[in-house]
């Protein structure tokens, strides 16, 4: 299994690194989530199709601070390509594979099976300064719960008020109280909006159910909704969650029998009179 994942990882890196990097707008996706116990960070590859069109960048997310940090920047990747003599070279992918060799892959988990839910609340609309009637992005807040306990809150941006936000959870090797949450959604309205992906650390869990979902490892493609992910829309004011109260069968039987007895007594009394 590890050999297959490592082979897939290298193939993805080589293919994406062999592109010509010149663009204006595009998707920003994440792939190859691995864990390095030496610095307790999650390493991942960032594929930025916007702006100048960078080669793959290696990033790491600290599990203690929750802050991302560059390991191989866009400038460093472009320098590697220039030194290789070709902008279609796989030099960046080879270097990323060398650095992450031996790291452990994160395991996709089912958010539903772990009783994790997410609420997205709308905050405000941001307009373009030079075009006040045009929307630049919408601002939201995402709040993560397990059962009724709040685990995390973080800012989210989008383009449309009714757009979907797709969340995928990943278990971290050796950790039972923290997971990594991947968000995939349009994050602004530039050219109609492009999918942008990001990672957040969520702690405060008592345990993590890791069972049975090894087929949903993240590739360079945008996250596709699956059996383990959650699709969340903006919450509506005044709409509350429906709560189903368990029915006490014994109490129902007592009430029913009591009512039956009272009814028979009343009927007997009326006949006697």
pLDDT for 10: 46
Classify 243 in phi/psi space as left (phi over 0), alpha (psi -120 to 50) or beta. Answer: beta
Q: At residue 78, does pLDDT exceed 50?
A: yes
Q: Which residue has the higher pLDDT, 150 or 264?
A: 150
pLDDT at 17 over 80: no
Is the pLDDT at 6 greater than 80, yes or no?
A: no
- The string of pLDDT tens digits covering residues 45-58 is 999 998 888 999 99
- Mean model confidence pLDDT for the chain: 83
pLDDT-derived band at 242 (thresholds 50, 70, 90) equals very low
Please, which contacts does 71-75 make with residues 24 or more away whose CB atoms are closer than 8 Å? 71/43, 71/99, 72/96, 72/99, 74/48
Closest listed residue to residue 104, CA positions, set 56, 36, 38, 39: 36
CA atoms within 13 Å, Cβ hemisphere of 190? 13
Which one, of 187, 227, 154, 191, lies nearest residue 30 by Cα?
187
At residue 96, what are phi and psi to the nearest 5 degrees?
Answer: -65, -45
Nearest to 108 by CA among 204, 206, 226, 220: 226
Chain centroid to CA 247: 36
- Per-residue confidence (pLDDT) for residue 3, from 0 to 100: 52
Question: For 104-117, what is the mean pLDDT?
Answer: 95
- What pLDDT is recorded for position 24? 66
Cα diameter, the chain = 110
pLDDT band at residue 119, thresholds of 50, 70 and 90?
very high
Q: What is the pTM of this model?
A: 0.78
135-161: per-residue pLDDT in tens?
A: 999 999 999 999 999 999 999 999 999
CA distance linking residue 10 with residue 29, whole number of Å: 17
pLDDT of residue 251: 40
Query: What's residue 52's pLDDT?
Result: 81
Q: What is the pLDDT of residues 197-224, one digit of tens each?
A: 999 999 999 999 998 676 678 999 999 9
pLDDT of amino acid 89:
75
Where does the pLDDT of residue 255 fall: very low under 50, low under 70, confident under 90, or very high at 90 and above? very low
Q: Is the pLDDT of residue 12 over 70?
A: no
Q: pLDDT digit string (tens) for 149-198?
A: 999 999 999 999 999 999 999 999 999 999 999 999 999 999 999 999 99
pLDDT of residue 86: 79
> Over 60: is that where the pLDDT of 111 sits?
yes
Whether residue 22 is predicted with pLDDT greater than 60 in this model: the reply is: no
Q: Cβ distance 230 to 167 under 8 Å?
A: yes
Residue 128 pLDDT greater than 60, yes or no: yes
């Amino acid at each position: 299994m590890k050999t297959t994942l490592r082979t897939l990882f290298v193939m993805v890196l080589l293919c994406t690194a062999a592109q010509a990097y010149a663009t204006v707008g595009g998707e920003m996706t994440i792939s190859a989530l691995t864990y390095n116990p030496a610095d307790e960070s999650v390493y991942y590859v960032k594929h930025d199709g916007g702006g100048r069109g960078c080669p793959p960048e290696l990033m790491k997310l600290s599990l203690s601070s929750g802050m991302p940090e560059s390991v191989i920047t866009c400038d460093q990747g472009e320098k590697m390509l220039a030194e290789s003599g070709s902008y279609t070279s796989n030099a960046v992918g080879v270097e990323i594979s060398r650095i992450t060799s031996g790291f452990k892959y994160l395991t996709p988990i089912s958010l539903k099976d772990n009783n994790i839910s997410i609420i997205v609340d709308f905050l405000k609309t941001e307009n373009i300064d030079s075009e006040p009637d045009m929307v630049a992005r919408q601002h939201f807040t995402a709040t993560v719960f397990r059962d009724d306990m709040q685990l995390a809150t973080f800012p989210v941006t989008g383009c449309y008020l009714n757009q979907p936000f797709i969340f995928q959870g990943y278990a971290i090797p050796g950790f039972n109280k923290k997971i990594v949450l991947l968000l995939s959604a349009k994050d602004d309205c530039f050219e109609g909006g492009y999918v942008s992906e990001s990672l957040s650390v969520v702690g405060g869990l008592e345990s993590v159910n890791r069972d049975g979902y090894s087929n949903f490892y993240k590739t360079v493609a945008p996250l596709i909704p699956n059996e383990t992910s959650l699709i969340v829309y903006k919450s509506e004011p005044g709409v509350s969650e429906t709560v189903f109260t368990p029915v006490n069968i014994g109490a129902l039987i007592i009430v029913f029998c009591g009512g039956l007895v009272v009814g028979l007594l009343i009927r007997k009394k009326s006949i006697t009179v």
